[in-house]
Structure 1
Amino acid sequence: MYEPERKRRQWSDGRKKRLRRTISWLAFGVVVLLVAGFAYVGFTYWHFASGIHRVGGVVGNSAPGTDQNILLIGNDERPANMTAQQYQQLSTTADGGSANTDTMILLHIPANGSSATLISFPRDSWVSIPGHGKGKLNAAYVYGMNGATGTADQKDAAGVKLLISTIQNLTDLKINHYVKVSLLSFYNIANALGPVTVCLNHAVDDPYSGANFPAGVQKLNATQALQFVRQRHGLPNGDLDRAARQQYFLSVEAQQILNAGTLLNPVKLNNVVGAISSSLEMDDKLNLISLATQLKGLKSGGIKSATVPLMPDPYGTENGQSVVLINYDALPDFLATVTGGKTAAQRVAAAKAADPASVTVDVLNGAGTARGSSTALATYKSLGFQTGQPADAPSSQQTTTIYFPKGDEGAAKAVAAALPGAAIAQSSDYKHVTVILGTDGLMPKGADSSGGSSSSQAPSSGSGTSGGSGASSTPAPSAPTKNYNKTTCIN
């Protein structure tokens, strides 16, 4: 998902000014949640929980002991009572900041609590926002907040709800809870936790974030930690490298906590608990005791990090805006492997094949060969399928792929039986099961083809799994995650 360094467009003075105001520091949530959970070892529930700001009406109830998805949100809000010294310490300006949620990380915790995965969403991801059409992901909160009336908490709740709806629609994952941390809150928590050790591949000097660090291993104080996770200018992959820094920082801090350096120091633990308690906003359904119980098996190296899959060239322009392009075809399988679910090919293999007469199949020619889609459609028609009109794919495609809408696994299985070796993917871009022919030369086989292919035949149960055979020759991808520690060097 990362690209080699390339020259980007020049920034206008106006855009530079806006970027100075943009704080995409870090949702410090995983560290917050870990400390929150383990803090109960030495402190009562009320000592910790009484200072947390709770907002109701955002999420529903979730069953304890099940997988949990917690949205970690960071934004540029500055409290009205911030002092000039605090502005200086935070390397930011007294311009009020913005309500954009410039850091969005989904923390996935499996039911057994033995691991945790941080899934980052670039703030400029081009997504569908319910009720607002297409837009950047970090605008969803603002749209929801600006469209609401009532108290500050009610407006905040509306913003978070729209952001949650946007990410749920994007991922098809239920978000159970959220934690929101502001710019000053991050600083206070980082200050209480103490210096963190990081390692950089290259020296950096960024006037926008204030990050000025040499290459190699070094310890960062709270001000430097904020600069470290905010930087995106001067990095080879911009926002993508910043997301990696956020994941890295969270992992290193969490390991520091789990290695007992904080837990066995009563004075430090008290400071950390107090800083966190007064710095958090979360939904009113998040039960920290239950979460702590679920996380009791988490080990120091049990935190993994990933970023949603992006297009090979992830930077684009939409409506005059610079955006990040998500690879929507790869997204469902990516999330399945990260969360322990089944990939599209595995779900198709487990489904009962539909009657071809009940299935409409479309074929798009991505191979560039003459009459490719017409020939394929004629084969499917001879097998009893309903067929659409031949057409060319929007662009050339190497791998022949069967795309199916959510819930049409049985239809996809029937189509795949006549097209052994094709890849399988779920996609919301198509109304019917759609085959895109690739330059690999695969074509559907009729009932009288050599090998005896028939649309009534189902792909084997190994379809889509490593070492399996059947409808898809593409093995299920391994979880695209990384484990960071303080000796890992990053950009």
Structure 2
Amino acid sequence: MALVSTVVLVVTGYAWTSLRDLGSGLSTSDVTAGPGADSSTDILLVGKDSRTDAQGNPLPQEVLDKLRAGDNEASLTDTLILLHIPKDRSRAVAYSIPRDSYVELADNYGQHKINSTFGRAKSEAAEDLREQGVTNSAELERRSAEAGRGLLVDTVEDLTGVGIDHYAEVNLLGFYKLTKAVGGVEVCLKDPVDDPYSGADFPAGRQTISGSDALAFVRQRHGLPRGGLDRVVRQQAFLAGLARSMLDTGTLANPNKLNTLFDSLQRSIVLDQGWDVLTFAQQMQGLAGGNITFDTIPVENPAYNTPEGEAIKIDPDEVRDTIRRGNKGIPPKPAPPAYLTDATVTVDNTTDITGLASRVSDDLTEADLSVAAAGNADPRSNSRVTYAPGSDKAARYVADELDGLPTTRDPGLTDGQVRVLLADDYDGPGAEDSFSPSQPLQLDGPHSQAPATPKPSDDAITASGIPCVN
């Protein structure tokens, strides 16, 4: 279930100026503290596997049949996307968080798959409300869902290091009706699929899908080469297709289509209270499809064994660094070579320069190298990198990071060990203190210019084309 309706909200909502009464029909939630101190905007987009509408009312069976939605008592958030829009509104970057990411939940809930966050807090809150005498099912649904949203926002903030300014949630019904209202979205598959679990039955190649077919397209994970990770890419491709359709076609100029579109949103979307979506969307008018980038947070192990079964292992520090770089327009760091996995680096300072080994170790750690120890050694005249037999590639990688130090094979080192020896001739990274004579201190801070739009990583998806996906 992809969160397509929020793309309409933040990208094409400026057309709503002729329909100002739309906001009065939307459900809202007191789930965020509102915009932060900086002028950028971070929005949590949530796709909810829910059998109720936005007001908490159960969907009729005939509607569930159209959605091809089986029985599911759990309140799962099967799509989580963190959307960042910088101050100048020139671009947008969306980070998908796989539903099976194994993370530390906020408020001492422990480690679990992130898609269970909403449901855990919701279930606990519902039990408390029943004990307080609340019996109306719609009221129970609404009030317990508030607790679920709160824990979800807190957990994503802890994981990403980003303060959430706004929240937007859509359910199965909203997705179904929205894709029908826009006349479908064009997608492309590398191979044909036939999955009885999701109902996905599509040929290879380009095709336009909507309604229940669109739901099946974005929900399929069985039978895909990478399972849930390929489903994330499917969702990104669909979102990109919707954004492209909204930006490049005549949908926004067609009153009938707009009315149908807005009607589909009122029963199926939840926004945070106080979000003036019309004003915000007007600020987004100049955004072009090619400046909307979809990517996925880095994954450490896609088949990680946990007490709850197989999950996706992620490194929160790596997630925060990736998002920080992407938000600032810094290209992603290239992945380190595979042969570094088994290499262990030690750094020894043979000079009388205090802290040299520590500074060089920090530089190597920033380059994704595993530094086991930093210390001192007997004086020597030349700097070099020595290595155990079979670790020559790792040694050359380390030497290149230190401005091309010479390398020497050392049979006395154990398997995988690489040793950096720093002498008085060393003038590479870490050799100078933070204040260098060639870089005078500026009391008014460093002069900077706005970063250029980053080039997406090889697997990133933008709204400027129709990518073929698994």
CA displacement, residues 430-450 of structure 1 (integer Å, 9 cap, x when unaligned) = xxxxxxx9959462625x455
Counterparts in 2 of 1:159-178, with a 5 A limit? 159-178=148-167
* Residues 36 and 273, structure 1, Cα contact 8 Å, conserved in 2: no
**Structure 2: how far apart are the matches of 1:224 and 1:182?**
16
Per-residue deviation, 1:92: 1.7
Partners of 1:337 and 1:479 within 8 A in 2: no
Alpha-carbon offset, residue 52 of structure 1:
0.4
Aligned to 2:349: 379
Equivalent position to 2:269, from 253, 257, 280: 280
Q: Which residue of 2 aligns with 1:53?
A: 27
Q: How far 1:59 moved relative to its partner?
A: 0.9
The match for 1:332 is: 320
- Structure 1: how far apart are the matches of 2:309 and 2:177? 34
Q: CA deviation at 1:453?
A: 8.6
Could you tell me whether the CA contact under 8 Å between 1:55 and 1:157 is conserved in 2? yes
Deviates more, 1:320-329 or 1:271-280: 320-329
Counterpart-to-counterpart distance in 1, 2:418 and 2:36: 49
Structure 2 match to 1:74: 47
Where does residue 145 of structure 1 map in the other structure?
A: 122
From 145, 153, 156, the counterpart of 2:145: 156
What letter is aligned with 1:297? G
1:102·1:123 contact (CA, 8 Å) conserved in 2? yes
User: Does residue 87 of the first structure (1) align with residue 56 of the second (2)?
Assistant: no
Which amino acid counterpart does residue 97 of structure 2 have in structure 1? F
**Displacement after TM superposition at 1:161 (Å):** 1.5
Q: 1:206 aligns with which of 166, 172, 195?
A: 195
1:482 aligns with 2:461: yes
- Aligned partners of 1:381, 1:153: CA distance in 2, in Å? 67
Which amino acid counterpart does residue 400 of structure 1 have in structure 2?
L
Partner of 2:306: 318
How much has 1:160 moved relative to structure 2?
Answer: 1.2
- CA spacing shift, 1:300–1:366, aligned 2, 3 Å: closer
Q: Report the counterpart of residue 241 of structure 2 in structure 1.
A: 252
**How far apart are 1:192 and its partner, in Å?**
1.5
SS in 1 for 2:199: coil
Question: May I ask how many residue pairs the two structures share in their alignment?
Answer: 387
TM normalised by structure 1 equals: 0.70
Decide which of 277, 288, 297 is 1:299's aligned counterpart: 288
How many angstroms does 1:385 deviate by?
A: 4.9
Matches within 5 A, 1:362-377: 367=343, 373=346, 376=347
User: Alignment partner for residue 369 of structure 2, among 400, 404, 429?
Assistant: 400
Match of 1:232 among 201, 216, 221: 221
CA distance in 2, matches of 1:387, 1:316: 35
Contact 1:332 1:344 in 2 (8 A): no
Which residue identity is paired with 1:91?
R
Give percent identity, aligned residues only.
Answer: 32
Alignment counterpart, residue 195 of structure 1, candidates 177, 180, 184: 184
Aligned to 2:445: none
Larger radius of gyration: 2
The one of 272, 279, 283 equivalent to 1:290 is 279
SS in structure 2 of the partner of residue 75 of structure 1: strand
Name the CA shift for 1:478/1:218 in 2 (closer, same or farther; >3 Å).
closer
The alpha-carbon distance between structure 1 residues 331 and 380, as it changes in their structure 2 partners (threshold 3 A), is farther
Pairing 1:396-435 to 2, within 5 Å after superposition: 400=369
Cα pair distance change 1:320/1:40, threshold 3 Å: closer
Q: Which whole-Å CA distance do the structure 2 matches of 1:453 and 1:106 have between them? A: 35
C-alpha distance in 2 between matches for 1:65 and 1:34: 19
Using the TM superposition, name which of 262-271 and 477-486 deviates more.
477-486
CA RMSD of aligned residues (A): 3.6
Letter in 1 for 2:114: L
Decide whether aligned partners of structure 1 residues 300 and 343 sit closer, same or farther in structure 2, where only a CA change above 3 A counts: closer
Instruction: List per-residue Cα deviations over 1:454-481 (Å, max 9, x = no partner).
Output: 765349899xxxxxxxxxxxxxx95433
Number of the residue aligned with 1:135 = 112
Deviation at 1:63, TM superposition (A): 5.5
Equivalent residue number for residue 410 of structure 1: none
Kindly tell me: are residues 307 and 273 of structure 1, through their superposed partners in 2, closer, same or farther at Cα, counting changes over 3 Å?
A: same
Determine helix, strand or coil for the equivalent of 1:281.
strand
Contact 1:333 1:344 in 2 (8 A): no
Give 1:78 deviation, angstroms: 0.6
Distance (whole Å) between structure 1 residues aligned to residue 225 and residue 417 of structure 2 = 33
- Determine the C-alpha separation between the residues in 2 that align with 1:254 and 1:324: 28
For the pair 1:118 / 2:94, whether they are aligned, the reply is yes
TM, length-normalised to structure 2: 0.73
Encode CA deviations 1:297-342: one digit per residue, 9 max, x unaligned: 111322111000112x422111251101224453233212321166
Q: Is the 8 A contact 2:184 2:209 kept in 1?
A: yes
Post-superposition offset of 1:177: 1.0
Greater RCO (CA < 8 Å, at least 6 residues apart): 2
| 8 A contact 1:402–1:422 mirrored in 2 | no
Q: Which amino acid aligns with 1:171?
A: T
How much has 1:166 moved relative to structure 2? Answer: 1.1
The CA distance in 1 between the partners of 2:148 and 2:156, in whole Å, is: 13
Q: Deviations over 1:142-180 (max 9, x none)?
A: 222233344543322221111111111111111111111
Matched to 2:29, the amino acid is: V
Alpha carbons of structure 1 residues 147 and 90: separation in structure 2 relative to 1, 3 Å: same
